[in-house]
């Protein structure tokens, strides 16, 4: 089989610039089913055109871009975020802050389209989604994502594997690539279910479960109770929720409780003890320990960031 060409197609248009003229440092790492490009841009510019002939997964590492994609309104592209671009879809990019002392750095991973298709077909064959009308797929309408911690770790691992000189690097990179695509699809499913649960709760049982959790966050919530609401066995509910959304139902409940606690700490003068019980914890010590694990600061320190004279 002829190896696909992953090289970016940089095309000049009137009043537009070549990306190559702006990139002071570009590294390319070719692997069996993908190619990793690491770009460092040292010059402020606008309307830079970039196009790949395969599906591309991009992630910002440093600095800021302004993206113009699919003819839609432009958006800021920042570290901790990813953008998915279909094959042959042109991107117009602004680099408003790039300079010698603070270059913009990003990665662009171009992926063999047949490999993407192969992984998706395998998932749909062996790990069907809980809703019969739903399937594993990369939804290009959800092209701008905030990276989950798991997705960030996978990106870092793939970059590390691409740079590795180990003879088995293609094997490690292949595993990381598969995980990246699965994490990407899980992130898109989380956005659909967690962020848009109101619109989807009559179609997706997990969206209904998310709504129930949010409305009862201060109460005791068990996996058994949630699985009964989803009309599933306890073990199947736990396994399927985590597989499709990339997070266990228990961790999602804890994440929601910490999120509500952050709002109350920042916006109210309620005591930490009152907040602890209001968001569903029954131990202040456990709440404080868990809060620090998630946020890297104690509840008191977090409040001081927003209410320094409280």
Q: What gap in Å lies between CA 299 and CA 287, rounded to an integer?
A: 9
Counted residue by residue, the chain has a size of 310
Which structural domain, as residue segments, surrounds residue 85?
A: 8-112
For residue 14, give every residue at least 6 positions away whose Cβ sits within 8 Å of its Cβ, in sequence order, or none. Answer: none
> Which pTM value belongs to this model?
0.86
Same domain, 33 and 99: yes
On the question of pLDDT at 290 being above 60, the answer is: yes
What pLDDT score was predicted for residue 18? Answer: 55
Question: Which pLDDT tens digit goes with each residue over 113-146?
Answer: 999 999 999 999 999 999 999 999 999 999 999 9
- Copy the structure tokens of residue 223: 């996996």
Dist CA 87 CA 55 (whole Å): 5
66 Cβ neighbours under 8 A, 6+ residues apart: 74, 75, 76, 77, 93, 94, 96
The residue out of 195, 227, 259 marking a domain boundary is 195
- In this prediction, residues 291-301 reach a mean pLDDT of 96
Q: What is the pLDDT of residues 212-261, one digit of tens each?
A: 999 999 999 999 999 999 999 999 999 999 999 999 999 999 999 999 99
Please give the pLDDT value at position 165.
Answer: 84
Q: What distance in Å separates the CA atoms of residue 168 and residue 197, rounded to the nearest whole number?
A: 43
Do residues 108 and 126 share a domain? Answer: no
215, exposed or middle or buried, with CB in 10 Å at 0-12, 13-18, 19+? exposed
Q: Cα dihedral sign for 54, 59, 64, 69?
A: positive
> How many domains does one find in the chain?
3
Based on the domain organization, do 201 and 164 belong to the same domain? no
Cβ 63 vs Cβ 128: under 8 Å:
no
User: Of 150, 167, 195, which residue constitutes the final position of a domain?
Assistant: 195
Using an 8 Å Cβ cutoff, are 47 and 15 in contact? Answer: yes
Per-residue pLDDT tens digits for 179-223: 999 999 999 999 999 999 999 999 999 999 999 999 999 999 999
Each residue's pLDDT tens digit, 50-104: 889 899 999 999 999 999 999 888 999 999 999 999 999 999 999 999 998 999 9
CATH number for the domain spanning 236: value is: 1.10.10.60
Strands (E), the chain: 8-9, 23-30, 34-41, 45-52, 55-62, 65-69, 75-77, 81-85, 91-95, 104-111, 144-146
Written as one string, the DSSP assignment of 60-92 is EEES-EEEEETT---EEE-TTEEEEE-TT--EE
Question: ∠ CA 183-187-188 to the nearest 5 degrees?
Answer: 120
Q: Among the three residues 94, 112, 130, which one is the final residue of a domain in this structure? A: 112
Q: Which letter does DSSP use for residue 21 in this model?
A: T
Q: Which residue, 210, 235, 207, 240, is CA-closest to 223?
A: 235
* DSSP bridge partners of 108: 37, 58
Segment 11-30 shows an average pLDDT of 61
Determine how β-strand 144-146 pairs with β-strand 81-85: antiparallel
3 domain-assigned: no
HSE-up of 256 (CA within 13 Å, CB side)? Answer: 24
- Co-location of 218 and 294 in the same domain: yes
pLDDT at 23: 67
* 217 and 227 housed in the same domain: yes
Same domain, 161 and 243: no
Task: Please give the pLDDT value at position 170.
Answer: 86
For residue 277, the model assigns a pLDDT of 97
According to the model, what pLDDT value does residue 1 have? Answer: 41
Give the SS3 label for residue 192.
Answer: helix
On whether both 178 and 190 belong to a single domain, the answer is yes
Structure tokens at 238: 């736990």
């Amino acid at each position: 089989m002829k190896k696909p060409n992953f090289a970016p197609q940089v095309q000049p248009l009137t009043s537009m610039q070549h990306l190559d003229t702006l990139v002071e440092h570009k590294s390319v790492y070719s692997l069996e089913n993908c190619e990793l490009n690491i770009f460092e841009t040292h010059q402020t510019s606008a309307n830079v055109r970039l196009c790949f002939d395969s599906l591309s997964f991009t992630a910002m590492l440093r600095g800021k871009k302004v993206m113009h994609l699919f003819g839609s309104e432009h958006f800021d592209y920042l570290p901790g975020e990813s953008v998915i671009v279909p094959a042959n879809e042109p991107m117009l990019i602004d680099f408003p802050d790039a300079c010698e002392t603070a270059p913009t750095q990003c990665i662009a991973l171009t992926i063999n389209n047949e490999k993407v298709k192969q992984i998706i077909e395998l998932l749909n064959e062996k790990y069907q989604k809980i809703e019969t009308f739903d399937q594993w797929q990369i939804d290009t309408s959800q092209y701008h994502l905030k990276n989950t911690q798991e997705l960030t770790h996978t990106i870092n691992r793939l970059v590390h594997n691409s740079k590795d000189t180990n003879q088995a690097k293609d094997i490690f990179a292949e595993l990381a690539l598969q995980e990246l695509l699965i994490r990407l699809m899980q992130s898109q499913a989380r956005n659909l279910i967690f962020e848009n649960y109101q619109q989807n709760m009559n179609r997706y049982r997990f969206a209904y479960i998310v709504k129930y959790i949010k409305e009862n966050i201060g109460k005791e919530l068990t996996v058994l109770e949630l699985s009964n609401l989803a009309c599933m066995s306890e073990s199947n509910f736990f396994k399927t929720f985590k597989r499709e959304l990339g997070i266990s139902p228990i961790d999602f409940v804890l994440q929601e409780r910490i999120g509500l606690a952050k709002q109350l700490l920042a916006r109210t003068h309620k005591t930490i003890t009152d907040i602890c019980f209001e968001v569903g914890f029954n131990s202040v010590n456990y709440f404080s320990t868990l809060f620090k694990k998630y946020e890297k600061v104690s509840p008191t320190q977090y409040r001081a960031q927003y209410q320094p004279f409280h």
